[in-house]
Chain A
């Protein structure tokens, strides 16, 4: 009797499992597709890169293990410190500009009564341009001769700037490009967050006599705190990998003033043919970014719970 009950229970469980699998087959199918894509295009390259950082390879013969030699190569390079300092400064400046500007733009767009759709389109337009096109457009803006920016400075009787051609202004010039290119995405995300704030809160604040700045300070910022934090972390992770701007505009110069970690990594791998050293530098960058990513996951999880 007991045996029959156990067998019946097992059969019921198996049946429920099969039904569950059958019911979710489509979902599993999609999951497989996503897993395969991630495995091929994200996880495998990541594992390969980690292995590469401890190896020396010419892609012809089997790679040889060299321990920490590649890490020694990159840390002993005088450009190593320059690259990390520039990356940190770029990230800091990109946060000051790239973080604040889209938020302010979103608040302004949210407050507007007219031409909302048109202005949203205008703000988002740079995102639709291929990054290389956007960057090369700025190459002309920054031209010290007939460039747009110096023409504008000339119009208002201000002295011309060297922009990319001076070690003092080159990095900030790249930050401006980066801010312009990413403005649209940030603004739209902030705008969505702003529009989810209940209107009653603003009405109550208005009844209490709060002006625009007080409404922003006491209602908007507290209500969008989470999205602001998430965007901050995502932006740190994205801007620390800056590559295309120095690659296309300055070649890392002048005097290494715009040499970033990602650009140095490219130099090692593709210009010097040392993929091991490039991999080592990549792994260092990955570890730093993982710290910020861990914060991001923590915040997301806390929010869900």
Chain B
């Protein structure tokens, strides 16, 4: 190739590359409406996150059907679905915001919501959210996750409170009654000992201690025992308490005295799922979504598992997911997004609650979550339909469902991830070092947490 031709080719390549870099949302821009200029019924295009991936054809088909039906109802709204698995990835969340590729209606876990609100990374939807017809029926504790002061920043999709997931098959093998799961921590300890006694590789009770998941489960146990993570003003740590000490003492005893927690520690989210799916783990803190995940992704079977309330629970850490809005979304996009969320996530017998279709597709129906509406009319309707089309052994989740109605749900503390990282140290110490000094660990963690909380106030 002649040098001249080559340089022209290079120049063309550079221009094309530059054009490619700058055209990330060109397609959407054509359909965008400028703030304040569009009429209520003007055409609007919104991007929505968490479309099920192609590897999950059943859920994807259902999603696509719902999008088509919704667009038929609202011909002026075009939904551009964005698939992802998992639906949110902390590694790309900030990059998407910075690069302008964040969806107009983006998916979030409860854990991240307050952090996103504090950082100003979600739109305030308070002026528009009143259009959601069943807003008043949504559980106030669930909605509080999406609020800061009197402002609302999103809507829930699923929610759960923390309970105790157990392997019914192992309970039977160990001579325990799967119909009568543990109600106290002493019973958990005794059951764990029996399960671990089944032989090498069997773990009675599994717990996290790395990647911030240890601190997360410490919080769940602490709340269950009636403890608090932070003081009433949110500016000081409150976990260095008798309840906090009891959490660690209990784990230490199971790990080192009973030897019922296995030798392998530093476990993170996927590790316990894999152990549960592999059928060698007896119990873990979790909710019905754990069983769903174990069934769908870790080769477990619904029939083998049950979920009960967290032992001696006075309160329960709530979890779940939902949607928030891009801070740059126009009012028209927010209004359209709210219509979609109401249609797909919040209406009984429709969208995610279309249990008849889910059953027809062979998808699991009958888990007692989500419970977005509590004891209200839409809540009752959802429970009734779910029961009617149930495909999973509903009775395995009955103790959890019954307790959920009386146990108070509590949201995560401020600066949750920072506190969880600090408490990972205490959790990993107790689970990997026999001589761990619990008082010192909690005092050290408290001092560190106070620094973090003082800075945030």
Contacts and interface: CB of A to CB of B under 8 A. Distances in A.
Contacts of A29: 3, 6-7, 10
A264 to B, nearest CB: 10
Nearest to B99: A59
Contacts of B429: 254-255
B81 interface: no
Interface in A124-159: 143-146
A167 B432 contact: yes
Nearest to B123: A60
A275 to B, nearest CB: 6
B417 A251 contact: no
B72 interface: no
Contact of A59 (B98, B209, B425): B98
Interface string A263-305: 0000101111101000000000000000000000000000000
Given A251-B211, A252-B210, A144 B263 contact: yes
A162 B3 contact: no
A164 interface: yes
B417 A26 contact: no
B311 interface: no
Contacts of A25: 3-4, 6-7
A20 to B, nearest CB: 12
B432 A145 contact: no
Interface string B407-449: 0000000000110010011001101110000000000000110
A222 interface: no
Interface string B57-97: 00000000000000000000000000000000011011001
A273 B94 contact: yes
B94 A269 contact: yes
Interface SS of B by simple majority:
helix
A251 B210 contact: yes
A16 B435 CA distance: 80
A254 B264 contact: no
Interface stretch (B114-122, B157-165, B291-299): B114-122
Size band of the A side of the interface?
35 or more
Given A253-B209, A270-B91, A164 B266 contact: yes
B380 interface: no
B94 A165 contact: no
B120 A76 contact: no
A254 B90 contact: no
Given A73-B455, A273-B115, A165 B3 contact: no
A136 to B, nearest CB: 11
Contact of B212 (A143, A146, A271, A273): A271
B259 interface: no
A246 to B, nearest CB: 10
Nearest to A269: B94
A254 B428 contact: yes
Interface string A3-47: 000000000000000000010011011001100100000000000
Nearest to B326: A60
Nearest to A61: B120
Most buried by A among B10, B97, B214: B10
Nearest to A164: B266
Contacts of B13: 33
B4 to A, nearest CB: 7
A77 B266 CA distance: 22
B312 to A, nearest CB: 28
Interface string A232-255: 000000000000000001111111
Contacts of A195: none
A256 interface: yes
Given A145-B262, A166-B432, A167-B432, A36 B14 contact: yes
B6 A167 contact: no
A250 B418 CA distance: 18
Contacts of A145: 200-201, 262-264
Given A22-B3, A271-B421, A275-B94, A254 B211 contact: no
Interface in A207-242: none
A249 B265 CA distance: 11
A254 B97 contact: no
A145 B281 CA distance: 14
Contacts of B210: 250-254
B169 interface: no
A71 B180 CA distance: 54
A86 to B, nearest CB: 13
A271 B417 contact: yes
A106 to B, nearest CB: 35
Contacts of A269: 94
A191 to B, nearest CB: 37
B119 A273 contact: yes
A196 interface: no
B417 A272 contact: yes
B151 interface: no
Given A60-B121, A60-B327, A78-B448, A254 B432 contact: yes
Most buried by A among B6, B115, B210: B210
B47 interface: no
Contact of A255 (B94, B116, B213, B433): B433
Given A76-B451, A275-B94, 11 more contacts: A22-B3, A25-B3, A29-B3, A32-B14, A36-B14, A162-B432, A165-B432, A167-B432, A254-B209, A272-B417, A273-B115
Interface of A: 22, 25-26, 28-29, 32-33, 36, 58-61, 73, 76-79, 143-146, 162, 164-167, 249-256, 267, 269-273, 275
